């Protein structure tokens, strides 16, 4: 009787964890869709909860606040899923760091930018637009940009190594600008270019900017 009860409790715990994960993923997907379609301020948490099939307290318990929900929506868009693993440890960037030559590194960087930017830009632009009117969102935007700079620094160290000890700080700043979702938005959304054209443009820009830094 006791063993059976323990087995049931273990099963119930797994079931609850799976349900919580599914709820979290669904809330994030709904929040991202609504924020992109209507803007941050125009979407109440109650609407997100209703469309995701959960209660508002469930949303707040999972994300702490509406700002916390927005941050998770951005982070998971950049990462591509909700797994608890930093972007730097994912294949899209590990391939960059494993590149054997500068040419190979440039091509893999261009691949990475073209993979991440299309899914990151829509929700990133939500944060950018909302930052002017909301100090909390302004702080979040500054945090996201600082994270991008730190990530660019890690990439710059690899690039500098392939260039024989070039100025890593200068490379970092160039990468930070080139990998900005804003650049993608200007090129693809404002000018109507394709993602393939954006990827090719990025590769050309990297080759033009990085070698002189060495």
Residue 63 pLDDT > 50: yes
The answer to whether the CB of 168 falls within 8 A of the CB of 79 is: no
Q: What is the pLDDT of residue 17?
A: 79
Greatest CA separation for the chain: 74
Burial of 120 (0-12, 13-18, 19+ CB in 10 A): buried
Going by pLDDT thresholds of 50, 70 and 90, the confidence category of residue 6 is low
Q: Where in the chain is the domain with CATH 1.10.357?
A: 66-214
Domain boundaries 66-214, corresponding CATH code: 1.10.357
Residue 9 pLDDT > 80: no
The answer to whether the CB of 171 falls within 8 A of the CB of 160 is: yes
Give the fold, CATH level 3, of 1-64: Arc Repressor Mutant, subunit A (1.10.10)
Q: What is the pLDDT of residue 75?
A: 93
Q: What is the mean pLDDT of residues 35-60?
A: 97
Going by pLDDT thresholds of 50, 70 and 90, the confidence category of residue 214 is very low
Q: What is the mean pLDDT of residues 29-57?
A: 97
The answer to whether the CB of 103 falls within 8 A of the CB of 79 is: no
Q: Where in the chain is the domain with CATH 1.10.10.60?
A: 1-64
Choose among 171, 167, 140: nearest CA to 155.
171
| Distance from the Cα of residue 107 to its chain's centroid | 20
Q: What is the mean pLDDT of residues 96-105?
A: 89
**High-pLDDT (> 90) share of the chain, %:** 68
> How far, in Å, CA of 25 to CA of 119, rounded?
16
Q: What is the mean pLDDT of residues 112-128?
A: 96
Lowest average pLDDT, out of 114-118, 155-159, 177-181, goes to: 155-159
User: How many angstroms separate the Cα of 169 from the Cα of each of 69, 98, 153, 159, 214?
Assistant: 33, 20, 7, 11, 12
Choose among 189, 52, 60: nearest CA to 128.
189
């Amino acid at each position: 009787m006791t063993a059976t009860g323990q087995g049931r409790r273990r099963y119930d715990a797994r079931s609850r964890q799976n349900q919580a994960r599914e709820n979290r993923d669904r809330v994030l997907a709904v929040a991202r869709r609504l924020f992109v379609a209507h803007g941050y301020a125009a979407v109440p948490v109650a609407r997100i909860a209703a469309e995701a099939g959960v209660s508002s307290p469930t949303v707040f318990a999972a994300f702490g606040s509406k700002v916390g929900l927005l941050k998770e929506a951005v982070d998971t868009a950049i990462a591509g899923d909700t797994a608890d693993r930093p972007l730097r440890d994912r294949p899209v960037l590990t391939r960059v760091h494993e590149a054997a030559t500068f040419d190979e590194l440039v091509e893999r960087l261009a691949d990475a930018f073209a993979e991440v930017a299309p899914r990151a830009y829509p929700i990133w632009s939500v944060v950018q637009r909302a930052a002017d009117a909301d100090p909390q969102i302004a702080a979040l935007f500054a945090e996201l940009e600082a994270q991008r700079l730190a990530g660019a620094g890690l990439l710059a160290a690899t690039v500098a190594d392939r260039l024989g000890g070039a100025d890593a700080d200068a490379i970092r700043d160039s990468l930070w600008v080139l990998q900005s979702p804003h650049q993608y938005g200007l090129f693809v959304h404002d000018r109507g270019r394709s993602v393939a054209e954006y990827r090719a443009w990025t590769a050309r820009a990297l080759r033009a900017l990085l070698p002189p830094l060495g």
